[in-house]
Amino acid sequence: MDRDLKHTATQLGLTRPQLIARLREEGLLTPENLPAHPARDRDYLRVKEGHWFHPVCGMQYSRSTRVTQAGIRWLADRLGIELPPLPADRSDVA
């Protein structure tokens, strides 16, 4: 399950603006808040593309950054944030 930057920031104990600022300082985000190295960091950061129809302006498109489950721990390590141990993933248990 991919998380948006708001939920990722909450999990890391930061606010969304603090997380974005730190990611930009590390060179992980562009000024548009998209991954700076999408091929290199594809296991941790992804781009979600969306679209909707506006009655006056026509088709509208958006892109936003999502963080994978593995990306939470990766970001914590990159940003020097201590995380509590994550519970085991039990989604495959019948």
pLDDT along the chain (94 residues), means of 10: 93 95 96 96 96 97 96 94 73 66
In a domain, 86, yes or no: no
In a domain, 92, yes or no: no
Per the structure, the count of domains in the chain is: 1
CA distance 10 to 15: 6
CA distance 6 to 23: 13
Report residue 91 as tokens: 């989604």
Q: What is the pLDDT of residue 83?
A: 85
Is residue 45 a contact partner of residue 78, using CB atoms and an 8 Å limit? Answer: no
In a domain, 91, yes or no: no
In a domain, 70, yes or no: yes
Model's pTM, two decimal places?
A: 0.81
Whole domain around residue 74: which residue ranges?
3-79
In a domain, 23, yes or no: yes
- Compute CA 30 distance to the chain's CA centroid, rounded to the nearest angstrom: 13
In a domain, 84, yes or no: no
